[in-house]
Amino acid sequence: MSDVRSMGATAPRRAGAALLVIALSASGTALAVASDPASHRVTQKGRAFAPGAITMQAGEAIEIVNDDGELVHHAYLDSPEFSFDTGEQGPGSKTVVSFPRRGQFTVLCGIHPKMKLFVSVK
């Protein structure tokens, strides 16, 4: 009985995370999928990440929102320690990416080379 009660208590949050994983898996591209709700939010309006720099704790996640009209974006990070690729981010899409490691990272857009998001993970 105690097992059932414990499952009930965590079910809503786990269900949300499971849906997120499924949504990202469907695009077949996200390698770093956050299991927790994002604690930071970045928009891409005007072909620019905003804010352009974020300081966060290891294990936290960023929700990258494409609120840039009809434009498609494609955020990715390629570093020796850690990388991810969101694939194409259609208009209105939201992609959550977790940063498991400490370090200084630069997220780029595969479509707009001038877009840069500096992430400092403490």
Residue ranges binding Cu ion (CB under 5 A): 73, 109, 111-112, 115
Nearer to Cu ion, 23 or 111 (CB): 111
| Number of other CB atoms surrounding residue 94 within 10 Å | 14
Nearer to Cu ion, 86 or 98 (CB): 86
Least distance to Cu ion, CB of residue 3, Å? 46
Instruction: Give Cα 103 distance to the centre of its chain.
Output: 17
Least distance to Cu ion, CB of residue 78, Å? 16
Q: Round to whole Å and give the CA distance between 57 and 20.
A: 21
Q: Round to whole Å and give the CA distance between 4 and 11.
A: 10
- What is the sign of the dihedral through the CA atoms of 17, 23, 26 and 32? negative
Nearer to Cu ion, 36 or 118 (CB): 118
Nearer to Cu ion, 59 or 110 (CB): 110
Sequence-distant (6+) residues with CB within 8 A of 37 are 16, 61, 96
Least distance to Cu ion, CB of residue 22, Å? 25
Least distance to Cu ion, CB of residue 49, Å? 9
